[in-house]
Chains A and B, each alone.
Chain A
Amino acid sequence: MNVHHHTYDAVIVGAGGAGLRAAIETAGKCRTAVLTKLYPTRSHTGAAQGGMCAALANVEEDSWEWHAFDTVKGSDYLGDQPAIEIMCREAVDAVIELEHYGLPFNRTPEGKIDQRRFGGHTRNHGEAPVRRACYAADRTGHMILQTLYQQCVARDVNFFNEYQVLDVAFADGRVAGVIAYEMASGDLHVFNTKAVLFASGGFGKMFKVSSNAHSLTGDGPGLLYRRGIPMQDMEFFQFHPTGIYKLGILLSEAARGEGGILRNNSNERFMERYAPTVKDLAPRDMVSRAMLTEIREGRGIGPNKDYVHLDLTHLPPEQIDEKLPDITEFVRTYMGIEPKTAQIPIQPTAHYAMGGIPTNVNGEVIVDELNTVMAGLYAAGECACVSVHGANRLGTNSLLDIVVFGRRGGAAMAEFVRKAAMPDLPKGVEEETRGLIERMKVGSGGENVADIRTVLQEEMMDKASVFRTDESLSSMRQTLTELKGRYEKVSIQDKGEKYNYDLTEAIELGFLIDLADTLVEGALARTESRGAHFRDDHPTRDDANWMKHTLAYRTESGGVRLAHKPVVGGKYQPMERKY
């Protein structure tokens, strides 16, 4: 295995929205390498559909404070309010900036950026849904990804495509480099650098039914966790209500923003019972629970009564073609259904990790309960936890998060790099990665990667998804112990150097198992229900004991140690979450 050495002022890991926005920020300020295991335009930001909220007030009265209130309430009061204020205040500039970069937003008749309704976003602290989401048909994420990539091309950003980062090196209490595996050659590349920003995305592939890409395996959080960085609030994983039945492909909340309705087996608009004011536009955690409650109580649809319907049939056909062209095409392609005339079978789909690498509002990674910063280490986007989403993210706030905190992280990193000296990289920093790869290639235990991953995904779906109990989570803990044992005996067939995805899939599975471990331990410990974390055996929120963030550390023996830190409050006091 050849080893190549590079030196850069800064390295960005991942080229989705957060990584690209950070790269735009460092361009011209410091020598930056952007490493991605895909091509930038393949990143899963491109799959985001519905919009990006900002209180532009282009079509009706709105204010960033209302947006902040909605986000705090949506987070079930686990989000840190100063961070949420920053995000919602800077949202307006972020959208305007994207427009200046060329993003083709839909327009109002006056030529301004058009806005539409989205779940949990309301006028004046919950009075009624508000039109806050700026959008480009139902491919807003695609347009953000394309636009940011275009701006990187304009700035001649230095991309290393299909380089998968597998390890990070520290020296003298700061970041000193990363180790990447080059898909095309099978060579290792050691990047000596002053600073690293992780923007590597989520890890929804630990669940069976997921809207996530195959590539979303939590490599960044996983490798940092192994190097002692804690993971924050991992028990909070969002299930998006409207995934295509069995496939999990996302059907945007914009479908309901445009007037779509959820119906059970008696064609009832059941959300009226769960959220009388905003109905189908309640936040995702509540809608997913409502759907599964309908199914549990026998009001599901189909031979197994295991799905409900999304109904768009009452919408004008031209509105569907203009505002929801992509998702209706997905329905035609994968379900063979015409959504203009037939209702769509849907079920909740694993969508978004609220938890991840703990950071402050400048993207600096935090390594303990005292908010101690690791010098030179940054994270932004889904892999990070600022925390602006708390226990439940509102729709559109992920696209906002990547742009706002990608920019802030990139700016902070460029500033850090300006003053910092290049750290000495310890000799042999690549040896552990080399060992990992060689071990995988010679493994002869006979265990199959796909089989282990299937068990992980199915069991996580059954035992650690929308509804959880001590019993289900304890059982999942047991399953994970077994899977770790089997993972030690993995054998792969491809022993080659070039484009060995057999190898990288095996390594990725290891990250998924480790992160599932943190999710399950956090969920077991949290004996309350808050946001996306719902315990049947502890069905209410317990602010007295649990209004705090979870930090999960990896122990020497590979187990999980939990610690906690307080939520940073603000002007909005916790209250019962009704919509």
Chain B
Amino acid sequence: MAVSVELRIKRFNPEQDTKPHWESYSVDMEESDRVLDALHEVKWHQDGTLTFRRSCAHGVCGSDAMVINGENKLACTTLINEVGHKVTLEPIRGLPVVKDLLVDMEPFFAQYRAVLPYLINGTDPGYKERLQSTEDRERFDDTTKCILCAACTTSCPVYWGNSSYVGPAAIVNAHRFIFDSRDEAATERLDILNQRSGVWRCRTAFNCSEACPRGIKVTQAIEEVKRAILYNRV
């Protein structure tokens, strides 16, 4: 049965506005619809200028992180029945707003690239796979799930205050390699994360773990990286 949902959306058109403003839309949705469906309903039938990113629509591409009723979520994995019939939508915080719900992702990806997010191993493995025990594989399983949506990083109060902090997502992606038994560059990555912009900025607010749409234990990953630096051991 359709219900009427009121969307309050923080709008900003860089070609007309000097600052953001709120606009409201009323849409008829099913309880089981996604917030993304409601945004599409507005864009496709009420206001074609409403701008947001999206692609896969089921939580694997990481395009549509936004602040929904005050919390960082993906619009495509959040259902109307979770958020009620009055929904406020804002762009994620800490990255420059470009247009409506769409932010500039370049600083986020630059921080990702800064942690050497690729397997580094100088030995020739020949024509066979490198062996890895199931236990060693399990060690970094959680952090391989990251979809780089930025929900964690932009939920972090430290990141809001200091955009030079690499942020939870970059640390998650460093963790993914630091604890991979096949990788040989843990020391380099730990050195990067031991700098002023690194893990010590983290104040263990746990916002990142709550925000992660993939259920990654982000704070735990950060703690494991901190311990690895402190005890010089992975």
What residues of chain A have their CB less than 8 Å away from a CB belonging to chain B? 38-39, 41-44, 46-47, 93, 95-96, 99-102, 104-113, 136-137, 139, 142-143, 146, 150-151, 153-154, 184, 213-215, 247, 249, 326, 329-330, 333-334, 336, 448-450, 492-494, 496-502
Contact = CB atoms under 8 A, between A and B. Distances in A.
A95 B79 CA distance: 37
Nearest to B140: A104
A213 B32 contact: no
A249 B98 CA distance: 30
B233 interface: no
A501 B146 CA distance: 26
A175 to B, nearest CB: 28
Contact of B183 (A41, A102, A492, A500): A102
Given A44-B55, A96-B127, A213-B57, A184 B98 contact: yes
B228 to A, nearest CB: 19
Contacts of B48: 492-494, 502
Contact of B118 (A95, A105, A108, A150): A150
Contacts of B19: none
A111 B43 contact: no
Given A213-B56, A502-B43, A496 B49 contact: yes
Contacts of B146: 146
A104 B180 contact: yes
A42 B130 contact: no
Given A41-B148, A102-B183, A111-B133, 18 more contacts: A42-B53, A42-B55, A47-B58, A96-B128, A96-B129, A99-B129, A107-B137, A109-B134, A143-B144, A151-B118, A153-B118, A213-B55, A214-B54, A333-B79, A334-B79, A450-B44, A494-B48, A499-B99
Contacts of B157: none
Given A44-B61, A498-B98, A102 B55 contact: no
Question: Which of A104, A105, A110, A151 has the most C-beta atoms of chain B within 10 angstroms of its own C-beta?
Answer: A104
A143 B61 CA distance: 12
A38 B55 contact: yes
B151 to A, nearest CB: 14
B60 interface: yes
Contacts of B180: 102, 104
Nearest to B47: A493
A153 B109 CA distance: 10
Contacts of B53: 42
B86 interface: no
Contact of A41 (B14, B32, B147): B147
Contacts of B105: 39
A95 B127 CA distance: 11
Given A104-B141, A496-B15, A46 B56 contact: yes
A2 B105 CA distance: 23
A42 B99 contact: no
8 contacts: A100-B121, A105-B129, A110-B131, A143-B144, A213-B56, A330-B59, A334-B32, A496-B13
A133 to B, nearest CB: 15
A506 to B, nearest CB: 9
Contacts of A112: 129, 131
B219 interface: no
Contacts of A184: 98
A100 B49 CA distance: 45
A53 B58 CA distance: 25
B45 interface: yes
Given A102-B183, A336-B32, A497 B15 contact: yes
A499 B44 contact: no
Interface string B87-110: 000000000001100100100010
> 6 shortest A-B CB distances, which residue pairs?
A102-B119, A493-B48, A450-B44, A111-B131, A150-B118, A502-B48
Contacts of B144: 104, 136, 139, 143, 146
B58 A249 contact: yes
Nearest to B181: A111
A96 B129 CA distance: 5
Interface string B41-82: 001110111010111111111110000000000000101000
B165 interface: no
Nearest to A454: B44
Residue of B102, B127, B129, B147 contacting most chain A CB atoms (<10 Å): B129
Contacts of A449: 44
A102 B137 contact: no
Contacts of A496: 13, 15, 49
A500 B148 CA distance: 23
Nearest to B146: A146
B159 interface: no
Given A107-B133, A496-B49, A502-B43, A102 B58 contact: no
